[in-house]
C-alpha cells in the first residue's frame, strides 16, 4: 500500500530493535512542532520477552498481552490511553466549532447505501434518518405518493442509541412471502453478531422466536412462510457464539425454539474446510422453487449448491463444485439460473446455467466481459440490469435475458449509483445516487419503460456550485496508471499550502467511488482538499486490479498510495507539513504501513480500526482467517516473508520521527479486533523519536463501523478533524 523510497527493516534488525527500545538517544525532532509537548508521558506499557520462530526468523511480540481484551491490565491500559488522548483532542480550540458544524450539516434526510429502499408484497420499505436521530427508521407505505408510516424504530432499542439494526448483507429487514411477518436483526454496540426477531406486520408485535449466533448474512424465507434458512456459528458453553468455528446452514420453523432448528447443510466434507473454513449462505429464488446455497471462501472463489423444493428428496445438489472463480447468483427464469462470474473474465461476465442440464459444456454466456469492471447484476422485470465502474464512476446498462444490449441508464450525473434490486416479474426498482457534493438521492426506475423518477432529494445547507471535483491519473512506482479524485472549494491556489487529506483502502475487491460524506464536506469547508486514490487491491478495474494488490503483491497498494501523496506535492496541491492520510480497516493497515515506510512524507495520519498485526490477524476468528485470500497466512513461508516486510506492528524503528498519528478503534469491534490498534499504538509510542503525538482513541459501546449512533459518529469526526487541524496548523 505504499510506494516507498525507504525500505522496510529486515526481520533481524526488527528483532534487535524490539529489545533496545529506550536504550539510545532519540533522533532530533525533525518534524515535531517547536515548543510543543503532550504535557504528560505515554502510559507505561509493559513488555513481554516473547519471541517466536517463523521459518528461521525470530519475531518478537512484546505486547501480546494486550490481546487479552477483558483483563484488568488491558482495561487499565485503555483507560490510561483515553485519559491522554481525549483531553488533548478536546483541548484543540477548533474542535467545538468543528463539532457544531458537523452537527448542523448532519441534520438532513439520509439514506444508507447498504439499505436501498425496496418493494415487497405491494408495499414499499424505506429506511431513512430524517435528521439527527441516532439510528435510521424503517418506514412503510403502499404508495410513493403517500405519507410514510413508521414500521420499525431502532431508536427504541436502547437509551444511548448503540443497539442498531444488524449489519447484514442486503436489506436489514426481510419480509415473508405473504408479507404477514418481517424478519429483522439487532446488533448490540456495533457487534457483527446479529440476533434475529420476527415482527407481525399487522400488529407491530414481535413473536417469541429469536435466532442467535448469526453474522453478516440475512435470512431467507421458505416459500410458504413457515420459517427461514439462516447461517450460524456454534455456541460456546456460556451461550455466546463461537466465531472461531465455521458457520452451518439451518432452518428455523416459526413458533419453535432455536434448539429445535434443522441442520440443512454442513461443511465438514468441503475440500477447503481446513484452509479457509468456508461458510454457506442461502437465498430463495423469486419463484419459490429453489434454495440457492453459495459456499463462500475468501474473496476470489466460491461454490454454488442448490435445493429443489419441488424434489426435496433429492437433497442438496452441487451446481458449481470447483474452487476456481467467483459466481454470484442473480436470479432464475424457471430452471435457468443467471450468474455473474470471474471465470475466464477478470472484469466479470454473465452466464446462464440450466440446472436440468448443468454440465459446464452447456453453460451459456449472456453478457460478455467488458472493458469496464462489472460490479453487480440484478434480474428485474424480465431484464438484466448490470452495474459497471468506468474509471471508478457508475455506469448502468440494461440487457434482455438473451444477452441483447438494450440501453444505458441515464444517471442524474457523474457519481455513484447503488441498488437496482427487484423481482423478475416486477419492472420497478430503486437506486440511490450520490457524489462528493450530492447527498444520497432516491430514484425509482421502470426497467421496461426506461423511466427514472426522483422520489426524494435531501436538502443540505451547502451549495454544490461552490465546489469542484475532478479526476486525475498518476503513475505508481512500477509504472501503473492510478486514478484519483480531487474535491475542494473552487478557486484554491496551487501554492503547496493547501491542507490535504488523502484517503485510500486498497483491498478485498472493494471499490471506493464518489459519495457524499458530511465529514468530507466539513473538511472542504475548512479549506481542505479531499483526495481519494483508487489504488490496487480494490475492484475498480476488476479482478486483475484486485490481484495486483493482494498477498505477495500487497506492497503495490502501499506504493500506489505513496505515489498519490508524491503527486499531490509535486503538483503543488500541498506539501508534507500540510498532508494527512486516513484509512479504516484494511485502509488502517494502509495508513500504518505508509507511516512506517515513509514517515518523512506525511504531516499527520489517522488509522481507524486497522489490521495492523499481519502475523497473527487470522487467529482472531474464522472470518478473519478468510482474509488470507488477500493477506496470505504466516503459516506459509512466502506469505510470511511478504507480511513481515510491511506489517505495521512489526516495522516501527527506534528513534524515527513519526508524524502526528491518531489511532482509533472500539472496544466491541469483533470484525477487526481492537488489539491490533492497541499493539501498534504501544509499539509506535515506544519508539517515537520526536515530540509528535501518537494518540490512541478507544470508543466504548461501539464496533467496527456499522450501527454507530449519530452522536458517536459526530464525536469521532470532530476529534479526527480537530487532530488534523492542530497537526497541519490549519
Write out the catalytic residue numbers: 585, 669, 704
- Rounded to whole angstroms, the Cα distance separating 537 from 516 reads 23
- Angle between helix axes 675-687 and 72-91 (nearest 10 degrees) is 70
Give the chain's count of helices (H) and strands (E).
13, 40
Given the C-alpha cell 474509471, which residue does it identify? Answer: 391
Residues 93, 109, 606, 598: what is their CA dihedral angle, to the nearest 10 degrees? -120
- Rounded to whole angstroms, the Cα distance separating 463 from 514 reads 17
Contacting residues for 79 by C-beta, under 8 A, at least 6 apart: none
Distance of CA 312 to the CA centre of its chain: 37
**Which residues are 280's β-sheet partners?**
295
Contact at 8 Å (CB) between 404 and 392? no
Nearest Cα residue to 552 out of 652, 633, 649, 477: 633
Residue 12: CA count within 13 A, CB half-sphere = 1
- What Cα–Cα distance (Å) separates residue 118 from each residue in 106, 423, 557? 24, 10, 36
Contact at 8 Å (CB) between 378 and 401? no
Per-residue cell: 692: 509528535
Enclosing H/E stretch for 710: helix 710-727
Contact at 8 Å (CB) between 211 and 166? no
Per-residue cell: 359: 454440465
Distance of CA 506 to the CA centre of its chain: 11
Per-residue cell: 476: 505508481
- Rounded to whole angstroms, the Cα distance separating 419 from 442 reads 10
Q: Collapsing DSSP states into helix, strand and coil, what is residue 438?
A: strand
- Rounded to whole angstroms, the Cα distance separating 608 from 415 reads 25
The DSSP output letter for 220 is E
Per-residue cell: 214: 448469526
- Rounded to whole angstroms, the Cα distance separating 353 from 395 reads 26
219 φ/ψ sector (left φ>0, alpha ψ -120 to 50, else beta): beta
Q: In sequence order, which ranges of 472-541 are alpha helices (DSSP H)?
A: 518-525
Q: Collapsing DSSP states into helix, strand and coil, what is residue 489?
A: strand
Per-residue cell: 687: 519508539
The b/e string for 134-160 (b: 16+ C-beta within 10 A; e otherwise) is: bbbbbbbbeebeeebeebbebbebbee
CB count, 10 Å around CB of 459? 7
The b/e string for 460-483 (b: 16+ C-beta within 10 A; e otherwise) is: bebebeebbbeebebebbeebebb
The DSSP output letter for 177 is T
Nearest Cα residue to 499 out of 155, 729, 226: 729
Per-residue cell: 178: 405473504
Helix, strand, coil percentages for the chain (3-state, nearest 5)? 20, 35, 45
Q: Collapsing DSSP states into helix, strand and coil, what is residue 103?
A: helix
Q: Collapsing DSSP states into helix, strand and coil, what is residue 446?
A: strand
Amino acid at each position: 500500500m505504499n510506494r516507498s523510497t525507504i525500505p522496510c527493516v529486515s526481520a533481524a534488525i526488527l528483532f534487535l530493535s524490539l529489545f533496545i527500545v529506550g536504550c539510545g538517544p532519540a533522533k532530533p525532532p525533525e518534524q515535531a512542532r517547536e515548543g510543543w509537548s503532550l504535557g504528560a508521558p505515554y502510559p507505561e506499557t509493559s513488555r513481554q520477552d516473547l519471541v517466536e520462530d517463523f521459518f528461521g526468523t525470530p519475531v518478537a511480540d512484546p505486547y501480546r498481552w494486550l490481546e487479552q481484551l477483558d483483563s484488568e491490565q488491558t482495561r487499565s491500559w485503555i483507560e490510561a490511553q483515553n485519559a491522554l488522548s481525549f483531553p488533548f483532542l478536546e483541548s484543540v480550540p477548533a474542535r467545538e466549532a468543528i463539532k457544531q458544524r458537523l452537527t448542523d450539516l448532519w441534520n438532513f434526510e439520509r439514506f444508507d447505501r447498504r439499505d436501498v429502499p425496496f418493494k415487497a408484497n405491494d408495499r414499499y420499505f424505506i429506511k431513512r434518518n430524517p435528521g439527527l436521530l441516532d439510528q435510521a427508521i424503517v418506514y412503510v407505505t403502499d404508495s410513493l405518493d403517500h405519507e410514510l408510516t413508521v414500521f420499525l424504530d431502532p431508536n427504541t432499542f436502547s437509551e444511548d442509541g448503540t443497539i442498531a439494526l444488524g449489519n447484514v448483507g442486503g436489506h436489514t429487514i426481510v419480509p415473508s412471502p405473504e408479507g404477514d411477518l418481517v424478519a429483522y436483526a439487532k446488533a448490540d454496540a456495533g457487534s457483527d453478531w446479529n440476533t434475529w426477531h420476527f415482527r407481525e406486520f399487522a400488529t407491530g408485535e414481535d413473536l417469541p422466536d429469536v435466532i442467535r449466533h448469526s453474522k453478516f448474512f440475512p435470512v431467507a424465507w421458505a416459500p410458504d412462510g413457515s420459517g427461514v434458512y439462516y447461517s450460524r456459528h456454534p455456541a460456546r458453553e456460556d451461550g455466546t457464539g463461537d466465531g472461531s468455528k465455521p458457520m452451518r446452514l439451518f432452518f428455523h420453523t416459526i413458533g419453535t425454539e432455536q434448539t429445535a432448528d434443522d441442520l440443512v447443510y454442513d461443511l465438514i466434507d468441503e475440500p477447503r474446510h481446513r484452509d479457509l473454513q468456508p461458510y454457506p449462505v442461502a437465498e430463495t429464488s423469486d419463484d419459490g422453487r429453489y434454495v440457492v446455497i453459495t459456499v463462500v471462501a475468501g474473496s476470489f472463489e466460491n461454490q454454488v449448491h442448490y435445493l429443489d423444493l419441488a424434489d426435496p428428496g433429492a437433497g442438496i445438489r452441487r451446481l458449481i463444485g470447483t474452487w476456481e472463480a467467483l459466481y454470484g447468483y442473480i436470479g432464475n427464469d424457471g430452471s435457468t439460473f443467471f450468474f455473474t462470474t470471474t471465470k475466464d473474465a477478470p472484469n466479470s461476465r454473465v452466464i446462464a446455467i440450466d440446472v436440468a442440464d448443468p454440465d459446464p459444456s452447456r453453460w451459456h454466456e449472456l453478457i460478455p466481459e467488458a472493458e469496464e469492471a462489472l460490479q453487480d447484476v440484478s434480474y428485474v422485470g424480465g431484464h438484466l440490469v448490470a452495474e459497471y465502474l468506468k474509471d471508478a464512476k457508475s455506469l448502468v446498462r440494461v440487457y434482455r435475458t438473451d444477452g441483447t444490449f438494450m440501453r444505458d441508464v441515464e444517471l442524474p450525473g457523474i457519481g455513484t449509483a447503488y441498488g437496482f434490486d427487484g423481482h423478475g416479474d416486477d419492472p420497478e426498482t430503486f437506486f440511490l445516487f450520490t457524489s462528493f457534493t450530492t447527498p444520497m438521492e432516491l430514484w425509482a426506475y421502470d426497467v421496461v419503460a426506461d423511466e427514472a423518477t426522483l422520489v426524494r432529494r435531501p436538502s443540505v445547507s451547502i451549495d454544490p456550485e461552490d465546489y469542484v471535483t475532478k479526476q486525475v491519473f498518476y503513475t505508481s512506482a512500477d509504472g501503473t496508471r492510478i486514478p484519483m479524485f480531487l474535491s475542494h472549494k473552487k478557486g484554491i491556489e496551487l501554492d503547496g499550502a493547501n491542507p490535504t487529506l488523502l484517503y485510500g483502502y486498497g483491498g478485498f475487491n472493494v471499490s471506493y467511488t464518489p459519495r457524499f460524506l458530511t465529514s468530507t464536506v466539513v473538511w472542504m469547508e475548512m479549506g481542505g482538499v479531499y483526495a481519494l486514490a483508487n489504488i490496487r487491491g480494490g475492484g475498480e478495474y476488476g479482478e486483475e486490479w484486485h490481484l495486483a494488490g493482494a498477498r505477495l503483491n500487497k506492497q503495490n497498494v502501499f506504493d500506489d498510495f505513496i505515489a498519490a501523496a508524491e503527486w499531490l506535492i509535486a503538483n503543488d496541491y500541498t506539501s508534507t507539513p500540510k498532508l494527512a492520510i486516513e484509512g479504516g480497516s484494511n485502509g488502517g493497515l494502509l495508513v500504518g504501513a505508509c507511516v512506517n515506510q515513509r514517515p518523512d512524507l506525511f504531516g499527520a495520519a489517522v488509522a481507524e480500526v486497522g489490521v495492523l498485526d499481519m502475523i497473527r490477524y487470522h487467529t482472531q476468528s474464522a472470518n478473519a482467517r478468510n482474509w488470507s485470500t488477500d493477506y496470505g497466512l504466516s503459516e506459509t513461508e512466502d506469505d510470511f516473508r511478504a507480511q513481515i516486510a510491511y506489517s505495521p506492528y512489526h516495522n516501527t524503528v527506534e528513534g524515527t520521527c513519526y508524524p502526528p498519528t491518531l489511532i482509533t478503534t472500539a472496544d466491541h469491534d469483533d470484525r477487526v479486533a481492537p488489539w491490533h490498534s492497541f499493539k501498534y499504538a504501544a509499539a509506535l509510542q515506544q519508539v517515537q523519536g520526536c515530540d509528535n503525538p501518537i494518540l490512541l482513541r478507544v470508543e466504548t459501546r461501539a464496533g467496527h463501523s456499522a450501527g454507530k449512533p449519530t452522536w458517536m459518529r459526530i464525536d469521532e469526526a470532530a476529534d479526527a478533524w480537530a487532530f488534523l487541524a492542530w497537526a497541519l496548523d490549519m
